[in-house]
Amino acid sequence: MNGGTKTMTYAYSMDDAVQVANQAATDIEAWLWSKSETISVVNVEDDPDYQRRDVDLIWTTHSGEILIEIKGDRWNKTRNLFFETHSNLEKGTPGCFMYTEADWLFYYFVNTRQLYKLPMPKTREWFLITMKRFRERSTTTPVGGSHYTTVGRLVPITTVMLEVAGIKMEQL
């Protein structure tokens, strides 16, 4: 698809985003705890050191420690993933997809409980080479009397799964 320059903008409230993020973290943590290889699951979303690295969970298994970034989403009907390139356009803040230090990005659709496990940084390296072909979209989120704009690209799930080795889908 031609990425073009037209950007569609949607508005979301901060409460909506927090609710989706909380549901995603709760579901994924419970799923990880149910796995036989799990030794521990630690939520570090509120830890400033891990916030800087954009890591949400530390999953310790018999094989070692795995850093996970969670992206919760409700819009599974589009069959796209939204890879965030700017989290706050007004402040010039890069999107989490561009800088997370996580080993895995867990992209989770809360409505259907479908989890896509994307190996990082391999997925980001592929995206940086191919991102211009994907449609850009932005969302605005009101905060107090102002707002901020999040920008990213819509990446078809089938495309990323075909072109990046190691991506797995799980039904929770």
pLDDT > 80? residue 7:
no
Confidence at residue 141, expressed as pLDDT on a 0 to 100 scale: 79
Task: Report the percentage of the chain scoring pLDDT > 90.
Answer: 71
Beta-bridge mates of residue 69: 105
Q: Which residue has the tokens 């850009």?
A: 136
Question: CA 144 to CA 147: how far, in whole Å?
Answer: 7
Largest Cα–Cα separation, the chain: 48
Q: Name the DSSP class of 3.
A: -
Number of CB atoms found within 10 A of residue 75's CB: 14
Beta-strand pair 64-73/104-109: parallel
Confidence at residue 15, expressed as pLDDT on a 0 to 100 scale: 56
User: In the numeric block, which tokens belong to residue 171?
Assistant: 């039904």
Average pLDDT over residues 9-37: 80
Average pLDDT over residues 38-57: 96
Confidence at residue 147, expressed as pLDDT on a 0 to 100 scale: 83
> Hey, what's the torsion of the CAs at 168, 65, 105, 24, to 10 degrees?
90
pLDDT > 80? residue 81:
yes
pLDDT > 90? residue 78:
no
Confidence at residue 19, expressed as pLDDT on a 0 to 100 scale: 84
When comparing pLDDT for 17 and 131, which is higher? Answer: 131
Confidence at residue 148, expressed as pLDDT on a 0 to 100 scale: 85
Q: What is the pTM of this model?
A: 0.86
Question: CA 80 to CA 116: how far, in whole Å?
Answer: 11
